[in-house]
Amino acid sequence: MLVGGWRAGGREEMHGLVRAAGLWPVAAVEHRRRVPEARHFVGQGKLQEIHARVLETGSAWAVFDYALSPVQERNLAQRLRCTVLDRTALILRIFALRARSYEGKLQVELARLRYLSTRLVRGWTHLERQRGGINLRGGPGEAQLELDRRLLNKRIRVLQARLDKVRVRYSEQRRARQRNRTPIVALVGYTNAGKTALFNRLTGAAKAVADKPFVTLDASMRRYTPANDDRFLLLTDTVGFLDRLPHELVAAFSATLDEARYANLLLHVVDRADPDYHARICQVEQVISEIGAGQVPCIRVYNKIDRVAGAVPGGMPGQVHISATTGAGLPALAERVLSQLWNPRGDWGTMAPRSAPVVPAGGECNELERNI
């Protein structure tokens, strides 16, 4: 059972997310209220409608396409007598199913615990009223709550420390690459835009590509030689973005997203066949600036033009139309990338890396084909 106030394409996207979380959508209820109601998020009339649909369809889950407060989530679960997920919990569920690498799992676990810690603090405040006897500050409820909170915070600190180590390792590797003067180009974009399809096409990799959200969680890097000469760069495939991406996730994935922040060039891959692609571009650009990559030069790559009638490969400066599936427009893309990264003299320097390389150009990069 889905509940949301969807604009164009939003409902289909929600269906995709729910399926990716291992659930099957059986019914949807539209909700258009502007100001949420404090106790149940939805008004009483709408709540009855949702309850009736839950009973009618026998749904075991109710997924709300909103951020619910812990109290609202608990009240809804009690009233609807089913498991209630909000948008953040749904995305966390997908990420937990998809994470494969060590740091991917760390990041997802950290995001989940951060989400849980807000639930614990505010969602369980009813227990704090269970005070003990004379002059006792807390009863059993409070003691348990404190204990849970402390355990949770301890675990969060442990995970954060492990991730900090991963981050240090990444930044050392980044410095080594800068010394080798190897340009880094990061593929960023909305989930399902075709980043991995393009990555595979350009580098000959065989990473999983599928018509589902968040197929890629673990960033990876490979060598890409755009022209038939000795110039090459390192291409990074990254986790996709989503409209209203929960902040817990953006924060937890900062080690992975650093790769975009420190890249010399971003290729913003857009699904041109998506009717909502204009809105998607804005949403992605917002996340790009939120993660501190707003200053990195960017080429907009309109992908999937084989599915758009009348679209032609190539395009104006700063953008290029391609199809990762058919290969149309890829020579134009290569040419744009090269002219952005290398100046006419042949040394790349028109777009100097943000911390200038110390050692002159030369030297091979030996970190190819590894997960970052």
| Residues contributing to the site for Mg ion (CB under 5 A) | 195-196, 215-216
Task: Name the minimum Å distance from CB 196 to Mg ion.
Answer: 3
Closest residue (Cβ) to ligand GTP? Answer: 240
**Between 87-98 and 102-123, two packed helices, what is the crossing angle to 10 degrees?**
150
Round to whole Å and give the CA distance between 233 and 225: 6
Q: Token pair for residue 97?
A: 């199913």
**Between 70-80 and 44-57, two packed helices, what is the crossing angle to 10 degrees?**
50
Binding-site partner at residue 313 among Mg ion, ligand GTP, none, CB < 5 to 8 Å by type: none
Query: For 236, phi and psi rounded to 5 degrees?
Result: -115, 130
Binding-site partner at residue 197 among Mg ion, ligand GTP, none, CB < 5 to 8 Å by type: ligand GTP
Task: Name the minimum Å distance from CB 200 to ligand GTP.
Answer: 8
Binding site for ligand GTP (CB under 6 A): 189, 191-197, 209-211, 213-216, 240, 303-304, 306-307, 323-325
Binding-site partner at residue 304 among ligand GTP, Mg ion, none, CB < 5 to 8 Å by type: ligand GTP
Binding-site partner at residue 268 among Mg ion, ligand GTP, none, CB < 5 to 8 Å by type: none
Task: Name the minimum Å distance from CB 28 to ligand GTP.
Answer: 23
Round to whole Å and give the CA distance between 195 and 249: 20
Four-point Cα dihedral 331, 332, 336, 337, nearest 10 = -30
Task: Name the minimum Å distance from CB 114 to ligand GTP.
Answer: 22
Question: Which is closer to Mg ion, CB of 25 or CB of 213?
Answer: 213
Task: Name the minimum Å distance from CB 244 to Mg ion.
Answer: 20
Residues 31-60 as b or e (16 or more Cβ within 10 Å = b): beeeebeeebbbeeebbebbbebbeeeebe
Question: Which is closer to ligand GTP, CB of 80 or CB of 188?
Answer: 188
Question: Which is closer to Mg ion, CB of 200 or CB of 340?
Answer: 200
Task: Name the minimum Å distance from CB 114 to Mg ion.
Answer: 24
Question: Which is closer to ligand GTP, CB of 74 or CB of 105?
Answer: 105
β-strand pairing of 184-189 with 265-271 = parallel
β-strand pairing of 319-321 with 233-237 = unpaired
Binding-site partner at residue 94 among Mg ion, ligand GTP, none, CB < 5 to 8 Å by type: none
Task: Name the minimum Å distance from CB 237 to Mg ion.
Answer: 6
**Rounded to whole angstroms, what are the CA distances from 167 to 101, 163, 321, 326?**
14, 6, 34, 37
Round to whole Å and give the CA distance between 35 and 66: 12
Q: Kindly tell me the number of DSSP H helices and DSSP E strands found in the chain.
A: 11, 11
Binding-site partner at residue 323 among Mg ion, ligand GTP, none, CB < 5 to 8 Å by type: ligand GTP
Binding-site partner at residue 72 among ligand GTP, Mg ion, none, CB < 5 to 8 Å by type: none
Task: Name the minimum Å distance from CB 355 to ligand GTP.
Answer: 29
Question: Which is closer to ligand GTP, CB of 170 or CB of 199?
Answer: 199
Question: Which is closer to ligand GTP, CB of 15 or CB of 231?
Answer: 15
Question: Which is closer to Mg ion, CB of 66 or CB of 241?
Answer: 241
Nearest CA-CA partner of 321 in 336, 303, 340: 303
**Rounded to whole angstroms, what are the CA distances from 35 to 6, 32, 38, 42, 75?**
16, 9, 9, 9, 17
